[in-house]
Amino acid sequence: MDTANVIDIATLALGLAAKLAAPLLITALVVGFTVSLLQSVTQIQEITLSFVPKAIGVAVAIVLCGSWMISELVVTTHELFDRIPGLLGG
């Protein structure tokens, strides 16, 4: 296994991690920004007011995107398993 294969697998793993984390992070960002804007307009500074909506938003994002995330993981795992003979030189 040469360095090109290692770099290719590492790039694949980092791309997959970014692709799987994006829906959750974007949801938390949008909900957090909305709640922060609401807090600054109403001047209500409550910690749970910012945490609970983000937790609910991320949970909804997991429910909505969960099957897609699992299928992406399965496809990538199958792709890596298919590469094993070529990586071992056979």
* Distance from C-alpha of 74 to C-alpha of 70, rounded to nearest angstrom: 6
Residue 1 scores a pLDDT above 90: no
In 3D, which of 37, 31, 83 has the Cα closest to residue 57?
31
Q: What pLDDT digit, counting tens, does each position of 47-75 carry?
A: 778 889 999 999 999 999 999 999 999 99
Which pLDDT score, from 0 to 100, does residue 90 have? 58
Q: What is the pTM of this model?
A: 0.81
Condensed to tens digits (0 to 9), the pLDDT of residues 7-61 reads 999 999 999 999 999 999 999 999 999 999 998 898 887 877 888 999 999 999 9
Helix axes 47-88, 3-42, angle to 10 degrees: 170
